Structure 1
Amino acid sequence: MLTADEATRLLDLARDAQARGDALLHLQLDVSLLEGQTSSWGSSANAVSSSDTVGSFLSEVEGLGWRLEHTGYAFAETGATSSPRALSNTTGTVTRGQVVGYFTFRRVG
């Protein structure tokens, strides 16, 4: 997820690219997480948490002289756990991962 330190690092990259005169800026950041816990019954319990600061961060990048041109998202699985369900022949699976946002900006002016 977008921490203050990560936002500062990415904003520094945007400033450096602006100073070099780059025409495009491409940033990627985690925008949400899928977390799960196994249970003794073998069922799965997944929870999604997302960042409320991505929009304001993108606005800060635009304030530096960049215009958002394209956005893409991908789910990156970081792990999964399966266990047999009690009183059943099936299994429960818990998946963990993150949704990564890819943001391409074009230099203004």
Structure 2
Amino acid sequence: MPHPDDASRLLQLAHEAHARGDALLHLQLDIAQLTGQTSTWGSADNRMMRDDHVGYFLSEVEKIGWRLEHTGYAFVQSGATTSARIFGTGEGQVMHGGVDGYFTFRAV
């Protein structure tokens, strides 16, 4: 589930668009974050933190009177950290960023 403030804002947009009679609704959600820390050995320790409640949120949008038509996803890199490996065997890199979900709904 998106952050409560974001969820409220997006659901309000869905209600307003439906009340206006819009045919389509397009929403963007953060659905995962890639984080990590450098290691003293210079290796990367990346971890993906997923939002397992996205389906619940999408169901709430559909309850308003929308039907999910299309989805798309993109990784948006926000940075990276590199560190030298201990025995001079190159560098380790830790990526940072998020996976954004793009959801297009059609009015029922």
**TM-score band, normalised by shorter chain:** over 0.9
1:90 match: 90
Tell me the residue number matched to 1:16: 16
1:45 aligns with 2:45: yes
Question: Residue in 2 aligned with 1:36?
Answer: 36
Give the CA deviation at 1:88.
2.6
TM-score (structure 1 length as normaliser): 0.95
- RMSD of aligned Cα (Å): 1.0
* Structure 1 runs, 4 residues or longer, greater than 4 Å off: none
CA distance in 2, matches of 1:74, 1:2: 17
Among all aligned residue pairs of Structure 1 and Structure 2, give the percentage whose two residues are the same amino acid.
Answer: 61
Q: Matched residues in 2 for 1:74 and 1:54: separation?
A: 15
| Count of aligned residue pairs for this structure pair | 108
Return 5+ residue gaps in structure 2 as ranges.
Answer: none
Q: Residue 6 of structure 1 aligns to a residue in which SS?
A: helix
Task: Using structure 2 for the length normalisation, give the TM-score.
Answer: 0.96
Unaligned runs of 5+ in 1: none
Q: Residue 86 of structure 1 aligns to a residue in which SS? A: coil
| Distance in 1, Cα, partners of 2:7 & 2:51 | 12
In structure 2, distance between residues paired with 1:19 and 1:65: 10
